[in-house]
Amino acid sequence: MEARYLTSVYNAADLPRDRKVEIAVAGKSNVGKSSLLNRLVKRRGLAKTSQTPGKTRCLNYFVVEPDKSASFYLVDLPGYGYAKVSQTMRKDWAGLIEAYLNEPDRPAGLIALFDARREPTSVDEDWLAWLGLWGRPFLVVLTKSDKVSGNARAQAIRRWTLAGPAGAIAPVTASALTGEGTDKIWQWMDGVRRRRPG
Protein backbone atom coordinates (compact mmCIF):
# COMPACT_ATOMS: atom_id res chain seq x y z
CA MET A 1 0.00 0.00 0.00
CA GLU A 2 1.27 3.42 -0.95
CA ALA A 3 -0.29 6.65 0.28
CA ARG A 4 0.85 10.24 0.11
CA TYR A 5 -0.45 13.76 0.49
CA LEU A 6 -1.03 15.35 -2.91
CA THR A 7 -2.43 18.84 -2.51
CA SER A 8 -4.84 21.16 -0.71
CA VAL A 9 -7.57 22.74 -2.82
CA TYR A 10 -9.03 26.10 -1.74
CA ASN A 11 -10.91 26.93 -4.96
CA ALA A 12 -13.07 24.66 -7.08
CA ALA A 13 -11.09 25.84 -10.14
CA ASP A 14 -8.05 24.05 -8.74
CA LEU A 15 -9.63 20.58 -8.40
CA PRO A 16 -7.60 17.80 -10.07
CA ARG A 17 -8.77 17.09 -13.62
CA ASP A 18 -7.41 13.58 -14.11
CA ARG A 19 -10.71 11.80 -13.40
CA LYS A 20 -9.24 9.42 -10.87
CA VAL A 21 -11.83 7.86 -8.55
CA GLU A 22 -12.37 10.00 -5.46
CA ILE A 23 -13.77 8.98 -2.11
CA ALA A 24 -14.56 11.88 0.20
CA VAL A 25 -14.44 11.74 3.99
CA ALA A 26 -16.37 14.32 6.00
CA GLY A 27 -16.70 15.00 9.69
CA LYS A 28 -16.58 17.65 12.38
CA SER A 29 -13.14 18.53 13.65
CA ASN A 30 -12.01 16.27 16.50
CA VAL A 31 -14.22 13.38 15.34
CA GLY A 32 -11.07 11.35 14.72
CA LYS A 33 -10.88 11.82 10.95
CA SER A 34 -7.11 12.21 10.67
CA SER A 35 -6.48 9.25 12.96
CA LEU A 36 -8.86 7.04 10.98
CA LEU A 37 -7.43 8.11 7.60
CA ASN A 38 -3.94 7.31 8.85
CA ARG A 39 -5.11 3.94 10.12
CA LEU A 40 -6.87 3.12 6.84
CA VAL A 41 -3.76 3.72 4.76
CA LYS A 42 -1.35 2.48 7.45
CA ARG A 43 0.62 5.73 7.46
CA ARG A 44 1.20 7.44 10.76
CA GLY A 45 1.11 11.18 10.31
CA LEU A 46 -0.20 11.23 6.72
CA ALA A 47 -3.26 13.25 7.68
CA LYS A 48 -2.26 15.67 10.40
CA THR A 49 -4.27 15.29 13.58
CA SER A 50 -5.90 18.11 15.49
CA GLN A 51 -5.68 20.83 12.86
CA THR A 52 -7.15 24.20 13.77
CA PRO A 53 -10.45 25.09 12.05
CA GLY A 54 -8.78 27.86 10.03
CA LYS A 55 -6.47 25.36 8.43
CA THR A 56 -9.21 22.97 7.44
CA ARG A 57 -11.07 25.22 4.99
CA CYS A 58 -9.69 23.26 2.08
CA LEU A 59 -10.05 19.85 0.50
CA ASN A 60 -6.97 17.77 1.29
CA TYR A 61 -6.14 15.25 -1.42
CA PHE A 62 -4.31 12.00 -0.68
CA VAL A 63 -3.27 9.55 -3.38
CA VAL A 64 -3.80 5.98 -2.23
CA GLU A 65 -2.45 3.00 -4.11
CA PRO A 66 -3.69 -0.21 -2.47
CA ASP A 67 -1.78 -2.17 -5.11
CA LYS A 68 0.29 -1.32 -8.17
CA SER A 69 -2.60 -1.63 -10.62
CA ALA A 70 -4.91 1.04 -9.26
CA SER A 71 -4.86 4.26 -7.33
CA PHE A 72 -7.55 6.59 -6.12
CA TYR A 73 -7.95 9.82 -4.18
CA LEU A 74 -9.07 10.02 -0.60
CA VAL A 75 -10.39 13.54 -0.14
CA ASP A 76 -10.52 15.01 3.33
CA LEU A 77 -13.48 17.41 3.36
CA PRO A 78 -13.37 20.28 5.82
CA GLY A 79 -15.36 19.81 9.02
CA TYR A 80 -18.66 21.47 9.74
CA GLY A 81 -20.43 22.99 12.68
CA TYR A 82 -17.61 24.74 14.41
CA ALA A 83 -18.33 27.83 16.41
CA LYS A 84 -14.91 29.42 15.97
CA VAL A 85 -15.07 30.33 12.30
CA SER A 86 -16.51 33.60 11.03
CA GLN A 87 -19.59 33.88 8.81
CA THR A 88 -17.42 34.69 5.78
CA MET A 89 -15.27 31.63 6.35
CA ARG A 90 -18.35 29.49 6.73
CA LYS A 91 -19.71 30.78 3.42
CA ASP A 92 -16.41 30.04 1.64
CA TRP A 93 -16.42 26.58 3.13
CA ALA A 94 -19.99 25.76 2.10
CA GLY A 95 -19.34 27.16 -1.37
CA LEU A 96 -16.29 24.98 -1.86
CA ILE A 97 -17.97 21.76 -0.69
CA GLU A 98 -21.04 22.51 -2.79
CA ALA A 99 -18.95 23.25 -5.89
CA TYR A 100 -17.08 20.00 -5.27
CA LEU A 101 -20.22 17.87 -4.87
CA ASN A 102 -21.79 19.54 -7.90
CA GLU A 103 -19.09 18.15 -10.16
CA PRO A 104 -20.25 15.15 -12.22
CA ASP A 105 -18.97 11.86 -10.76
CA ARG A 106 -17.07 13.63 -8.01
CA PRO A 107 -16.79 12.04 -5.50
CA ALA A 108 -17.64 8.40 -6.33
CA GLY A 109 -18.52 7.81 -2.68
CA LEU A 110 -18.97 9.73 0.56
CA ILE A 111 -18.03 8.71 4.08
CA ALA A 112 -19.53 10.71 6.96
CA LEU A 113 -17.86 10.36 10.35
CA PHE A 114 -19.55 10.76 13.72
CA ASP A 115 -18.35 10.07 17.24
CA ALA A 116 -19.91 6.77 18.35
CA ARG A 117 -20.46 8.21 21.84
CA ARG A 118 -22.57 11.14 20.69
CA GLU A 119 -26.28 11.33 19.97
CA PRO A 120 -27.16 12.79 16.57
CA THR A 121 -28.00 16.50 16.94
CA SER A 122 -30.31 18.39 14.59
CA VAL A 123 -27.18 19.89 12.98
CA ASP A 124 -25.87 16.36 12.32
CA GLU A 125 -29.21 15.30 10.86
CA ASP A 126 -29.34 18.35 8.58
CA TRP A 127 -25.78 17.70 7.45
CA LEU A 128 -26.57 14.02 6.76
CA ALA A 129 -29.70 14.92 4.83
CA TRP A 130 -27.76 17.49 2.83
CA LEU A 131 -24.96 15.04 2.02
CA GLY A 132 -27.57 12.42 1.08
CA LEU A 133 -29.09 14.81 -1.48
CA TRP A 134 -26.16 14.27 -3.82
CA GLY A 135 -27.18 10.66 -4.37
CA ARG A 136 -23.69 9.20 -4.08
CA PRO A 137 -22.93 5.87 -2.38
CA PHE A 138 -22.87 6.79 1.25
CA LEU A 139 -21.33 5.29 4.40
CA VAL A 140 -21.77 6.47 7.98
CA VAL A 141 -18.79 5.57 10.17
CA LEU A 142 -19.01 5.83 13.95
CA THR A 143 -15.56 6.68 15.27
CA LYS A 144 -13.74 5.95 18.55
CA SER A 145 -15.75 2.73 18.89
CA ASP A 146 -13.19 1.49 21.44
CA LYS A 147 -14.94 3.91 23.83
CA VAL A 148 -18.34 2.21 23.57
CA SER A 149 -19.19 -1.26 24.85
CA GLY A 150 -21.53 -3.84 23.35
CA ASN A 151 -24.91 -2.46 24.29
CA ALA A 152 -24.08 1.21 23.80
CA ARG A 153 -22.60 0.27 20.44
CA ALA A 154 -25.80 -1.43 19.27
CA GLN A 155 -27.73 1.63 20.42
CA ALA A 156 -25.39 3.98 18.56
CA ILE A 157 -25.83 1.97 15.36
CA ARG A 158 -29.61 2.13 15.74
CA ARG A 159 -29.61 5.90 16.41
CA TRP A 160 -27.34 6.72 13.49
CA THR A 161 -29.20 4.39 11.13
CA LEU A 162 -32.34 6.40 11.84
CA ALA A 163 -30.50 9.72 11.44
CA GLY A 164 -28.97 8.76 8.08
CA PRO A 165 -30.46 8.70 4.58
CA ALA A 166 -33.20 6.12 4.07
CA GLY A 167 -31.89 2.94 2.46
CA ALA A 168 -28.26 3.65 3.34
CA ILE A 169 -26.26 0.67 4.53
CA ALA A 170 -25.82 0.19 8.28
CA PRO A 171 -23.28 2.46 9.97
CA VAL A 172 -19.85 0.92 10.56
CA THR A 173 -18.25 1.24 14.00
CA ALA A 174 -14.56 2.01 13.73
CA SER A 175 -11.56 2.70 15.91
CA ALA A 176 -8.23 4.16 14.92
CA LEU A 177 -6.83 2.65 18.12
CA THR A 178 -7.86 -0.98 17.65
CA GLY A 179 -8.37 -1.00 13.89
CA GLU A 180 -11.98 -2.14 14.28
CA GLY A 181 -14.04 -1.35 11.19
CA THR A 182 -11.14 -0.75 8.80
CA ASP A 183 -11.80 -3.99 6.88
CA LYS A 184 -15.46 -3.04 6.41
CA ILE A 185 -14.56 0.47 5.27
CA TRP A 186 -12.07 -0.96 2.77
CA GLN A 187 -14.70 -3.41 1.49
CA TRP A 188 -17.08 -0.53 0.94
CA MET A 189 -14.38 1.61 -0.73
CA ASP A 190 -13.37 -1.30 -2.99
CA GLY A 191 -17.01 -1.67 -4.04
CA VAL A 192 -17.23 2.04 -4.87
CA ARG A 193 -13.97 1.88 -6.83
CA ARG A 194 -15.10 -1.16 -8.80
CA ARG A 195 -18.17 0.74 -9.99
CA ARG A 196 -15.84 3.27 -11.54
CA PRO A 197 -12.40 1.87 -12.30
CA GLY A 198 -9.57 4.35 -11.62
Residues engaged in binding ligand GDP (CB under 6 A): 27, 29-35, 49-50, 143-144, 146-147, 175-177
Question: Least distance from C-beta 99 to ligand GDP, angstroms?
Answer: 23
CA distance 64 to 51: 21
Question: Least distance from C-beta 184 to ligand GDP, angstroms?
Answer: 14
Of 19 and 55, nearer to ligand GDP (C-beta) is 55
What CA–CA distances, in Å, run from 15 to 11, 68, 72, 97, 194? 7, 24, 14, 11, 22
Of 36 and 189, nearer to ligand GDP (C-beta) is 36
Of 108 and 143, nearer to ligand GDP (C-beta) is 143
Of 34 and 139, nearer to ligand GDP (C-beta) is 34
Question: Least distance from C-beta 105 to ligand GDP, angstroms?
Answer: 26
Which of helix, strand or coil describes residue 26?
strand
- Give, rounded to a whole angstrom, the gap between the first and last alpha carbons of the chain: 16
Closest CA to 114 of 4, 31, 3: 31
Closest CA to 92 of 57, 53, 133: 57
What CA–CA distances, in Å, run from 53 to 27, 50, 80? 12, 9, 9
Question: Least distance from C-beta 92 to ligand GDP, angstroms?
Answer: 19
Of 34 and 108, nearer to ligand GDP (C-beta) is 34
* Sequence letter at residue 95: G
Question: Least distance from C-beta 79 to ligand GDP, angstroms?
Answer: 7
DSSP string, 107-163: SSEEEEEEETTSPPPHHHHHHHHHHHTT---EEEEEE-GGGS-HHHHHHHHHHHHHH
Of 50 and 87, nearer to ligand GDP (C-beta) is 50
Question: Least distance from C-beta 190 to ligand GDP, angstroms?
Answer: 22
